[in-house]
Structure formats: C-alpha cells, structure tokens
C-alpha cells in the first residue's frame, strides 16, 4: 500500500505496548491476506470480523456515512532505546500486504515533523518532558494529536502544544492487538467532523469504540484500560478452581476464557447480565450454590470498588 497524495502519515510518539497493539491492529486491517479473508465474512458492528449475534448496546463514535476522505498509509514508531526499536520491528513482521513501519530511535521531533496525525503513547508522567523537547512545538503545528494517556486532560495537553494543534483523548486497551479493543474517545468542539471520522476510523480498526464526555475518562480508563487485567485475574481464578477439581490446566484455562467470552458476547447482544445469571441459576442447583460463595466473599462490591480505586488512581496519573 503506497502513500498517495490523499493519504496520511501516522506517528506513534512513545510506541510501547499499547502503541504496538494499535499499529498491529491497523496493519492487520490493511493486510492483504486478512482483507481477503474478511471480504468473505459479513461485516461486524464491532469493527472486527466476528458477528456479535444481536443488537449493540452503546452507539459507536464511528459513523459509516462519514468515512474520512484521507486515511493513513505511512506509519512511524518513535522509541527511546535501541532495544525498544528491535522489539517494535519484530512486532511488525509478517503483515503481508500492509505498509512497513519506520522505527525512529531518539528522533521524536523528526517523527512528529513527518506526521499528519500523532498518537501520544508515552507514560503519563512524561508527556510534558516529551512535548517540550526542543523543536517539538514547531513540529506539532497544525497537527492532530491523539492522546492515549491515562489521567492527562485535554486542557493539560493544550498548555504544552501550539494553539493550532487539535487534541483528542482516547482510551483503548491491549486487546487492540487482536482487534477486540474497547476504546472511549473524547473530543472538544474544535475538532472537525473529518478529524472525528479519522479518529473513529483508527480505533474502529482495532475493535469497538464510543464517544463520551471527558469527565468520564478516568472511569473509562479503569473499566476499559485496566479491565483486561481484572478479567484475566478472574479467568485465572476460574481455571484454578477447575484444576483444583482435577481438570488439566490448559483445558481449564481454555474453558474459563471461552465461557467469559461467551457471556460477554451475550451482554453485547442485548442480554442483561442479571437475566443471564437468573437463567443459569436453577433452584437448589450448582450455580445457585456457587453464587452464594461469591456473595459471601463480597465479590460484587470488591470488583466495584476495584473500578473505583483504579479510577481514582487514573485521576492522579497526569499530576505526578
């Protein structure tokens, strides 16, 4: 896929785990082999090839009638250390038919200067240092900056970028790597419909996305950004229970993961979680007895307070 006059250059500034996940998802969508296979499948409202089996719950930020007129076809990944550069290059091997990713080591300003769209993916505590690097302000003139930093508000970013730089916040998660992310996007009124469509397109390549006001972003960071770790712990615990009762580890882990995925897809298809629980809970049955143990362990309140704690932590990240 060669750049054209109507195409854009996308730079990941601070291409760590999440940057690699986002670019991998986009490259997967642009890969010739994947595109060929997807063309044989019905479209999915989640932005992936997997049908959801029913109506979606929230309205997505993406509007198919407002597909951007210009799409990225050149990609730059900016990293700090040579070992990081090697890791990033290895991550992008094997995307047949997709454009190559140029990896810049210690050349942030050059990477931003050559971009039309910049995704800021550094650690939240480092954003001011990176954006105040000599020459960076000039490099950002007139660019679209998409921040995926937890806890850093749009207003804080505006302080260190030129007035002509448009700023959008997005909170994807690590499932971008397999195009199953849940991304929440927040944009102010100065973002044009074309740029909103472009941001939507980017994150629709790696999963499902929706738009919410910025006041909700810390909670979204906890629920979506940290959520995969919380769910992974639950899957691990479920598998441990299976192993305790004699199941082989690999099979128990697979069953736990598939069961969680199935329940999640039922919710996305419109089934309320409480209804799913009631449908499985027959009187005096094994599910009812198991749920009693969960309630005894205060699992419901513990998980809810987990989200509260992660939300509060996200709110302080940009201030440290």
pLDDT in tens, the chain (320 residues): 444 556 899 999 999 988 998 998 888 877 744 444 444 444 433 433 333 333 334 434 444 446 788 889 899 999 999 999 999 999 888 776 678 899 999 999 999 999 999 999 999 889 999 999 999 999 999 999 999 998 899 999 999 999 999 999 999 998 988 889 999 999 988 899 999 999 999 999 889 999 999 999 999 999 999 999 999 999 999 999 999 999 999 999 999 999 999 999 999 999 999 999 999 999 999 999 999 999 999 999 999 999 999 999 988 886 65
* pTM (predicted TM-score): 0.82
**Is 173 marked as binding a ligand?**
no
Q: What is the distance between the alpha carbons of residues 105 and 111, in angstroms, rounded to a whole number?
A: 9
94 labelled as ligand-binding? Answer: no
259 is in an annotated binding site: no
Residue 17 labeled ligand binder: yes
| Angle of helix 227-244 versus helix 249-268 axis, rounded to 10 | 130
Residue-wise DSSP of 46-103: TSSSS--SS--SSPPS--GGG--SS-EEEEEEEESSHHHHHHHHHHTTT-TTSPPEEE
Q: What 3-state DSSP class applies to 180?
A: coil
Contact yes or no for 19/12 (Cβ under 8 A) = yes
171 annotated among ligand-binding-site residues? no
Q: Which CATH architecture has domain 8-34+61-212?
A: 3-Layer(aba) Sandwich (3.40)
Tell me the domain boundaries of the chain: 8-34+61-212, 220-315
The CATH class that applies to domain 220-315 reads mainly alpha
State yes or no: 264 annotated in a binding site.
no
Which parts of 166-240 are beta strand (E)? 166-171, 181-187, 207-211
- Give the integer Cα–Cα distance in Å for 5 and 238: 52
**Cβ-count burial 136-166 (b if 16+ within 10 Å, e if not):** bbebbeebbbbbbbbbbbbebbeebbeeebb
The CB density around residue 28, as the number of other CB atoms within 10 Å, is: 21
User: Identical fold at 8-34+61-212 and 220-315?
Assistant: no
Instruction: Tell me if 158 sits within 8 A of 167, measured CB to CB.
Output: yes
Q: Which residues of 290-313 are buried (b: 16+ CB within 10 A; e: fewer)?
A: eeeeeeeeeeeeeeeebeeebbee
To the question of whether residue 224 is assigned a binding role by annotation, the answer is: no
Nearest to 74 by CA among 136, 41, 118: 118
């Amino acid at each position: 896929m060669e750049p054209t006059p109507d195409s854009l250059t996308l730079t990941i500034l601070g291409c760590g785990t999440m940057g690699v996940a986002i670019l991998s998802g986009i490259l997967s969508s642009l890969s010739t082999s994947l595109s060929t296979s997807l063309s044989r499948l019905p479209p999915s409202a989640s932005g992936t090839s997997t049908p959801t089996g029913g109506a979606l719950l929230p309205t997505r930020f993406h509007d198919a009638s407002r597909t951007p007129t210009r799409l990225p076809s050149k990609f730059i990944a900016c990293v700090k250390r040579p070992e990081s550069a090697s890791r990033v290059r290895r991550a992008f091997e094997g995307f047949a038919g997709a454009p190559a990713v140029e990896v810049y080591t210690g050349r942030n300003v050059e990477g931003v200067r050559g971009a039309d769209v910049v995704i800021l993916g550094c650690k939240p505590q480092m954003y001011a240092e990176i954006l105040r690097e000599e020459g960076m302000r000039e490099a950002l003139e007139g660019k679209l900056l998409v921040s995926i930093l937890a806890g850093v508000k749009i207003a804080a970013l505006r302080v260190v970028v030129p007035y002509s730089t448009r700023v959008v916040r997005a909170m994807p998660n690590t499932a971008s790597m397999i195009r199953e992310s849940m991304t929440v996007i927040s944009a102010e009124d100065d973002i044009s419909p074309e740029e909103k469509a472009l941001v939507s397109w980017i994150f629709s390549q790696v999963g499902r996305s929706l738009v919410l006001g910025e006041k909700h972003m810390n909670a979204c960071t906890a629920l979506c950004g940290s959520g995969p770790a919380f769910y992974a712990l639950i899957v691990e615990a479920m598998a441990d229970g299976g192993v305790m009762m004699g199941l082989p580890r690999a099979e128990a882990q697979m069953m736990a993961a598939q069961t969680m995925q199935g329940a999640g897809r039922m919710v996305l298809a419109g089934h309320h979680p409480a209804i799913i629980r009631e449908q499985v809970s027959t009187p005096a049955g094994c599910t009812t007895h198991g749920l009693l143990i969960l309630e005894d362990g205060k699992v419901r309140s513990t998980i809810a307070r987990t989200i509260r704690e992660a939300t509060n932590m996200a709110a302080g990240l940009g201030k440290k």
